[in-house]
Amino acid sequence: MTQPDTKTRLLDAAESLFSQQGFASTSLRAITSDAKANLAAVNYHFGSKETLLSAVLQRRLLPLNQQRSDRIDQVLSAATAAGTTPDTEALVRAFIEANFAFRRDKYGSSALISIVGRSMISADPVVRDLFLALIHPLINQLHQALCLALPQLPTRLIFTRLFFTMGAMGHCICFSGIAQIFKEDPDSNPEDNNVMTNNLINFVTAGLEAPC
Amino acid sequence: MTQPDTKTRLLDAAESLFSQQGFASTSLRAITSDAKANLAAVNYHFGSKETLLSAVLQRRLLPLNQQRSDRIDQVLSAATAAGTTPDTEALVRAFIEANFAFRRDKYGSSALISIVGRSMISADPVVRDLFLALIHPLINQLHQALCLALPQLPTRLIFTRLFFTMGAMGHCICFSGIAQIFKEDPDSNPEDNNVMTNNLINFVTAGLEAPC
DNA sequence: GTCTATACGATGATAGAC
DNA sequence: GTCTATCATCGTATAGAC
């Protein structure tokens, strides 16, 4: 087994540390130390800390978004074949489910998913813009599909609700652990992943389908 | 008109800058420069940058949360008087509406509301914990009220959905401007505050009321 | 009690030697 | 490609003036 090259070691270390501590709180010195690389290696290979984050996101997000895009297309094709409008919940599921299944996916990384959640709702314009650029085409695709599923609603309203969906999803991915903070129930256990995913899908599907 | 004291000038400057740039991206030097105070004034008056954020949040959030708490109590009282269960949408409105009305409230600050949005969904544990400590009692109150409004649902599920609600709300408050990013529609105007608020209330009410 | 001046360690970034 | 040295800026702390 050969040692991965410096660039890969930096990506792996950054992915792990960003997911544990967040982007701002992780220093380049911590990353290069974990990756057994020199401090200047990050700027040599990636240009800046920000571009390193972009590379970390792209490595996992491009295949993930391809999965989601394919699943949306499948829902649309099935609806066309059946001569019906696409099902809202199926579209929501196509968009959300892969995000959580990703935790155990062989191509994925359990660390990356919390970076995705953080990026999606980050207040930092740098982080947010990177994420938006990566997910923009997928959002447009989903928006158009939802317009077919919900022809009685204005497209603008559907877009607004899709925006709320992303907020709920990002919050869910990133902070499902802190839900316990409020809970006084002493025997409360962390929700199972699948239960939480289905709860989220039910919630946003109902919100998207609400009357105008 | 007398000049506000140093402590107030620091709070005002921090509130303004945090809302524009976020907590992490705002330096103490920028704050003290705006407030025409010495760099050390922050640590003298507040102890740390983190405690300054806490003071900025508390100054506006305590009266705001009192308003929200009162409105929730009103909804509960009205339901008891009428012998009915409380209305879910009325509770959601009590929780959300004041947040947006706050922008024009004479006691409020238009800047503060985006700090609230950012804090609510911040990935930074320091920021998030400060915010959670301030809003914890209100969340518990709302949760109990929603359990009365939705007796057919498990309390745990209601809590999870309340969690999604906070995600959608924080995202909405903080990033309503970037909704335009995805929109190709050339004549799209930023949504009016009231329209956006009502859209959010409709969305989360439907999500909260979804069948189990 | 308030405020100023100053210094300390850590950070992201970069230039230049090898 | 990699490394050392160095830079400006950051949050924080403190000594001392008023």
Query: Which sign, positive or negative, has the C-alpha torsion A117, B123, B168, B23?
Result: negative
Binning pLDDT at 50, 70 and 90, where does residue A125 land?
Answer: low
Rounded Cα distance between B211 and B108, Å, is 38
Reported as a single tens digit per residue, the pLDDT across B126-185 is 777 788 888 999 999 999 999 999 999 999 999 999 999 998 988 877 765 444 444 444
Query: Which has the minimum average pLDDT: A32-36, A94-98, A192-196?
Result: A192-196
In this structure, which topology does domain A58-209 adopt according to CATH?
Answer: Tetracycline Repressor; domain 2 (1.10.357)
Q: Which residues of B are less than 8 Å from A199 in CB distance? A: 157, 160-161, 164
Number of Cβ within 10 Å of residue B163's Cβ equals 24
* Interchain CB distance below 8 Å, B171 and A171: yes
Encode pLDDT of A133-192 as tens digits: 888 999 999 999 999 999 999 999 999 999 999 989 888 776 654 443 444 444 445 456
Q: How far is B176 from chain A (nearest CA, A)?
A: 9
pLDDT of residue B182: 45
Is the CB of B74 inside 8 Å of chain A's CB atoms? no
A208 touches A146 (CB < 8 A): yes
Q: Does the pLDDT value for residue A1 go beyond 70?
A: no
Structure tokens at A169: 């999803």
Domain definitions of chain B by residue range: 58-209
Enumerate residue ranges in chain B where pLDDT < 50.
106, 177-188, 190
pLDDT in tens, A81-116: 999 999 999 999 999 987 766 655 545 556 666 677
Task: Give residue A181's pLDDT.
Answer: 41
Per the listing, tokens 């930096």 go with: A10
Ordered alpha helix ranges (H), B41-149: 41-45, 49-82, 88-101, 112-120, 125-149
Which chain B positions have a beta carbon within 8 Å of A201's beta carbon? none
The beta-carbon neighbor of A167 closest among B160, B168, B210 is: B168
Kindly state whether B156 is in contact with chain A, defined as any CB-CB distance less than 8 angstroms: yes
Phi/psi class of residue A5: alpha, beta or left (left: φ > 0; alpha: ψ in -120 to 50)? beta
Most confident of the following: A51-65, A67-81, A126-140: A67-81
DSSP tag of B162:
H
- Nearest CA to B75 out of B86, B65, B61, B59 is that of B86
pLDDT in the model for residue B101: 66
Asked if the Cβ–Cβ distance from B182 to A159 is below 8 Å, we say: yes
Between chain A and chain B, the number of residue pairs with CB atoms below 8 A apart is 144
What's the confidence (pLDDT) of residue A185?
Answer: 45
- The span from the CA of B68 to the CA of B109, in Å, is 16
